[in-house]
Amino acid sequence: MNGLFDVLEKIEKCPGMYIGRPSVTDLFMFLVGYEFARSEMDIELTEAEAKFYEDFQPWLQEKLGVKSVTSWAKLIMLSCHDEKVGFEYFFRLLAEFKQNHGLLATESSSEFVRQS
d(Cα 85, Cα 75) in Å, to the nearest integer? Answer: 13
The whole-number pLDDT of residue 102 equals 81
Domain positions in the chain are 2-99
pLDDT by residue (tens digit) across 11-21?
A: 999 999 999 99
pLDDT digits (tens, 9 = 90+) for 19-41: 999 999 999 999 999 999 999 99
Cα gap 12→94, rounded to integer Å: 11
Q: State the burial class of residue 38 (Cβ atoms within 10 Å of its Cβ: 0-12, 13-18, 19+).
A: middle
Neighbours of 100 (CB within 10 A): 11
Which tens digits make up the pLDDT trace of 55-111? 999 999 999 999 888 999 999 999 999 999 999 999 999 999 999 888 765 433 444
The pTM of this model reads 0.84
